[in-house]
């Protein structure tokens, strides 16, 4: 199993589409920025066949510091979530 990072993804897309790496990298960065902006605004982003990006509210809770065993308070926060679409799930099986 290998880890595909951003550079490997840019190279693969540039090779397949015969576009420059610079153009492909700009498209990927713009896509990530737009998804991030939409999530910050509380919107859901759906890429049909791939999946859905959305946010979820996480309640405040009490945790334990594993080094000192001291109890700590973890604040409430909003976290991003991704749900894989049907086509992605079936292709990975």
What does each of the 93 residues of the chain score in pLDDT, given as a tens digit? 889 999 999 999 999 999 999 999 999 999 999 999 999 999 999 999 999 999 999 999 999 999 999 999 999 999 999 999 999 999 998
Distances (CA, A) of 53 to 56, 71, 89: 10, 32, 15
Residue 2 is predicted with a pLDDT of: 86
Q: Which CATH architecture has domain 44-93?
A: Irregular (4.10)
The pLDDT of residue 23: 95
- For position 1, what pLDDT does the model report? 81
Domain chopping of the chain, boundaries: 1-43, 44-93
Q: Give the model's pLDDT for residue 32.
A: 96
Q: Is 60 helix (H, G, I), strand (E, B) or coil?
A: coil
| pLDDT value of residue 80 | 96
φ, ψ for residue 70 (rounded to 5)? Answer: -80, 145
Instruction: Identify the H or E element spanning 87.
Output: helix 86-92
């Amino acid at each position: 199993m290998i880890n595909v990072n951003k550079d490997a993804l840019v190279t693969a897309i540039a090779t397949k589409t015969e576009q420059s790496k610079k153009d492909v990298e700009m498209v990927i960065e713009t896509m990530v920025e737009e998804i991030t902006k939409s999530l910050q605004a509380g919107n859901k982003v759906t890429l049909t066949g791939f999946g859905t990006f959305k946010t979820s509210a996480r309640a405040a809770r009490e945790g334990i510091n594993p080094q000192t065993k001291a109890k700590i308070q973890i604040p409430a926060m909003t976290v991003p979530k991704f749900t894989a679409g049907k086509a992605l799930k079936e292709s990975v099986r």
